[in-house]
Structure 1
Amino acid sequence: MKRSGPLVTLLGGLVLALILLSFNATTGTRAGSTSTTNDPPPASAAPSPSPSPSPTRNSPSPRATPSPPADADYAGRTDDDSAAIAVTLRDGKAVAYFCDGRTQESWLKGDVEDDGGMRLTSKDGAELNGTLKGGSVRGTVDIGGREYGFTAPETGESALYRATANVRGAEVDGGWIVLPDGSQVGILKRDGKAAAAPEIDPETGAVTVDGQQLTARPVTPESSS
């Protein structure tokens, strides 16, 4: 009975050691798991911001260079049907002729604006103010203290003619307007005395004055100067 005491003590120590080892192993595993579970996840790299597009400036659209109205010829009558008007445009300039076919006439000239506006003047003080729009020149002529409204549509061919010459010792100066319907209005002056002009041939400009044949030629701003 005395010998069993140490043996029991030894066995009790071994059991205690086994329990402690088992406890440590379990505690260590749980600690490791807890440590791994609680570690914060690695921070992911923040995406770099995309570069903002640089502001672009809209380039101004090129502006079309204004150009004067196209070369053309216009002829018509005054609103009261008492006279005729012819206007010839060439390279941004105009020449016009006002004629009542009896005693009153005037040659006018000046510049034409890009928008078709025109102010033409004459040496005798007459003035034409008009605007080219829709294939016609519409405006007024101030002459002899009176204002005449007029409309002159495009003719498609020369409408204004003039002839100057010396006939039988007299200075002859004639002006003609050929209207769209083919009719003519003109004045022929002999040494400054006005009278109705004989008709010309629009195809050739031929006209007979006091038995002498003359040639009436189309009038342009350049030739009128």
Structure 2
Amino acid sequence: MGRRSPLVTLAATAVGLVVLLAVNSTVTGNTDLTQTGGATPTPTATTTAPAATPSTTPSTPSTTPPQTATPPTQPTAVYVGRTTGREATVAIAVKNGRAVAYVCDGRRLEAWLTGPFRDNQVVLRSRTGERLVAAIGAKSATGSLTLHGRTLRFAISVAGPPAGLYRSASKSRTIGWIVLPDGSQVGVDNDGTPAPAPRLDRERGVASVGGVRVTAQPITGDETF
């Protein structure tokens, strides 16, 4: 038994080869499994659309202005007539929220009054303290006035041509005329010494004072003096 026979040596070699092949096959199979099935798939990123955000822009309010009532139309007219006791003649002109009145007796007493015209009412004053208050209608004006300390009442009517109120003014004199509906005239020429006014040529708007021609302007009511 000191020497192995060649057959035993061959058999041992064969067994060793079988074992080696078996181990190699096992290792190779595991490697293939790892390479083919071991890679973890990378998850695909999913993009989620953001939810619609409600608009936060404030609604624009309507710019249409609210409707307002149309103010009543103010008359533009001249009213003329005499006081109730026929002590004086009165003219009131109204226009554009203003009024001018002239009161005179045709001899020496007179007053020019101005002021606002609102809500069909006038409250007018003169530089010398005279006062006139009247309610103005479409066809007439009624009220009262003071003239050199006397209180006079009147109810006068709206007038058209040739009636009207006229005035000529300079540094040295002022002349006022009231032309009544029948064409008659009443006025005062005041150059510091009041006297009856000269005759007015209404069509040309002129008068003669001591041979000097003066120009008269119709008073409409919105003048200031």
- TM-score, normalised to structure 2's length? 0.66
Q: Cα gap change, 1:209/1:153 in structure 2, threshold over 3 Å: closer, same or farther?
A: same
Residue of structure 2 aligned with 1:113, choices 113, 118, 128: 118
Within-5 A mapping of 1:75-114: 75-114=80-119
* Contact map agreement 2:78 2:220 (CA 8 A) in 1: no
Equivalent position amino acid for 1:82 in 2: E
Counterpart CA distance in 2 for 1:207 and 1:90 is 26
Counterpart CA distance in 1 for 2:105 and 2:73 is 30
Once the two structures are superposed, residues 154-175 of structure 1 have per-residue CA deviations (whole angstroms, 9 ceiling, x without a partner) of 1124611111247xxxx22211
Of all paired residues, the percent bearing the same amino acid is: 39
Aligned length: 159
Match of 2:174 in 1: 173
Within-5 A mapping of 1:1-225: 64-114=69-119, 116-157=120-161, 159-165=164-170, 171-190=172-191, 192-225=192-225
Deviation at 1:134, TM superposition (A): 4.5
* Contact map agreement 1:68 1:113 (CA 8 A) in 2: no
Once the two structures are superposed, residues 126-153 of structure 1 have per-residue CA deviations (whole angstroms, 9 ceiling, x without a partner) of 1101001240111101122211111221
* Contact map agreement 1:86 1:97 (CA 8 A) in 2: yes
Paired residue secondary structure (2:201): coil
- Runs of at least 4 residues off by over 6 Å: none
Counterpart CA distance in 1 for 2:72 and 2:116 is 13
Q: Cα gap change, 1:138/1:189 in structure 2, threshold over 3 Å: closer, same or farther?
A: same
Q: For structure 2, list consecutive stretches of 5 or more residues without a partner in the other structure.
A: 1-66
Equivalent position amino acid for 1:159 in 2: G
Question: Which of the two has higher C-alpha Rg?
Answer: 2
- RMSD of equivalent CA atoms: 1.9
Paired residue secondary structure (2:223): helix
